[in-house]
Amino acid sequence: MVEPALIKAAQAGDREALVTLLREIEHQVYRTAYYLLNHEQDALDASQEALIRVYTKIGSYEEKAQFRTWVQRIVTNICIDKFRRKRPSVSIDEHEMVFESGDSVEAEVLSAYAAEEIREAIGKLPEHHRTVVVLRYLQDFSYNEIADSLNLPLNTVKSYLFRARQQLQVLLHDYQKGGVRG
């Protein structure tokens, strides 16, 4: 939680406060970028871009919004731009076609999914579903906070999140059963 006083000082032009503030948010920014882009170097680049944007735009932050939703809006926008440029989004049907088996024998006896598999499955979700899941689980955002960050209606957030969980459940369920499709 970033102190409101620190934000105020940063907005007033205190460079040191602004840099301190960036240090406080850098991990949360990186976490979102990492799970959205599913690629370390891309995540590092996107996070730095987001932090610079926070630095330059701090004056436009208004207190009526939560600071952390404002920050997440910046980083998700940058990431969405990035992965739109990088690869076209793939639908859930197509994922199943390309879903690779990994080590299916072990997978069957695992009681839990490995983080790696979940991360891969998240990476296969359509961009909005992915973003909602990341904010919900990696930032512990409420429905409302997600809606504020993404500028989406509350019902849309819920429907994205619910659908995303169903898709993940299918992806991971298949995986655990062996998941070999062709």
Partner 1 sequence: MMCQEVMELMQRYIDGDLDEQETSLMMDHVGQCPDCAAMLDRLKRLSSELEQLPRVVPRYSLVDAILPELERLNELEIRTAPADEILEAAPLRSRRSLRPGRDLLRRLSTVVALGVVVGLLIFTQPDQWPFGSNSSGTNEAGPSLDKQNNEKSVIQESNTNTLKVEQQAPASKGTGGADDQHADRADPRESDPGEKAPNDVKITGNETMPAATPSFNASTSEPPANPDTPVSNRGDVDRSASASGEASSSGSPAASASEEVPQSAGIMAEDGDQGKMAFGSGAPDAAVSVVSPDGKWRAVTSEGTATIQIYKSEDNSLLFDSAAREGSIENLTWSPESTYLYYSWIDAEGSRTELMFDIEGVQESNR
8 A C-beta contact, residue 30 and residue 47: yes
From candidates 26, 42, 96, 127, binder to partner 1 by CB under 8 A: 26
CA distance 66 to 62: 8
CB of 96 to partner 1, least distance (A): 17
Three-state secondary-structure class, residue 7? helix
Kindly state whether residue 15 participates in binding partner 1, applying the rule CB under 8 A.
yes
From candidates 9, 55, 104, 127, binder to partner 1 by CB under 8 A: 55
Among candidate residues 160, 154, 159, 156, the one with its CA nearest the CA of residue 142: 154
| Residue 152 identity | L
Total residues binding partner 1 (CB under 8 A)? 42
* Burial (0-12, 13-18, 19+ Cβ within 10 Å), 1: exposed
Kindly state whether residue 133 participates in binding partner 1, applying the rule CB under 8 A.
yes
Among candidate residues 177, 162, 94, the one with its CA nearest the CA of residue 128: 162
H or E element, residue 169: helix 154-176
Q: Which is nearer to partner 1, 77 or 101 (CB)?
A: 77
CB of 47 to partner 1, least distance (A): 5
- Residues in the site for partner 1, rule: CB under 8 A? 15, 19, 22-23, 26-27, 29-31, 34-35, 40, 43-44, 47-48, 51-53, 55-57, 59-60, 112-113, 115, 118-119, 133, 136-138, 143, 158, 161-162, 165, 168-169, 172-173
